[in-house]
Amino acid sequence: MDTKDRFRGVGRNYAVGFSIGTKGYIGTGTNGASYFKDFWEYNPVGNTWTQKTDFGGTARRMAVGFSIGTKGYIGTGLDAVSYTKDFWEYCP
């Protein structure tokens, strides 16, 4: 049985994720006390989590994420103050 590397970030709810190629990406979200903007990459070939540059927008929860080709996109959601209307592009 294969054991997967544990997530290195803080446990959270309402995070956003997408995949590009064989890698998975996850970030933002909340643990109920704090909002996050950290961003992580999972590589199944090496079975490793790598912290990437923080998400460029405000820390938030309930954002949407998707990928098109070799780019990922994160947008909308709810930050600590209000609903957001921005979208960000991620190029690994």
Q: In what order do the strands lie in the sheet with 48-52?
A: 16-20, 23-27, 39-43, 48-52
Longest dimension (CA), the chain: 44
- Residue 14: which region, alpha, beta or left (left: phi > 0; alpha: psi -120 to 50)? left
Spatial distance between the Cα atoms of 26 and 38, rounded to a whole number of angstroms: 9
pLDDT of residue 16: 97
Low-confidence ranges of the chain (pLDDT < 50): none
Q: Give pLDDT tens digits for 16-28.
A: 999 999 999 999 9
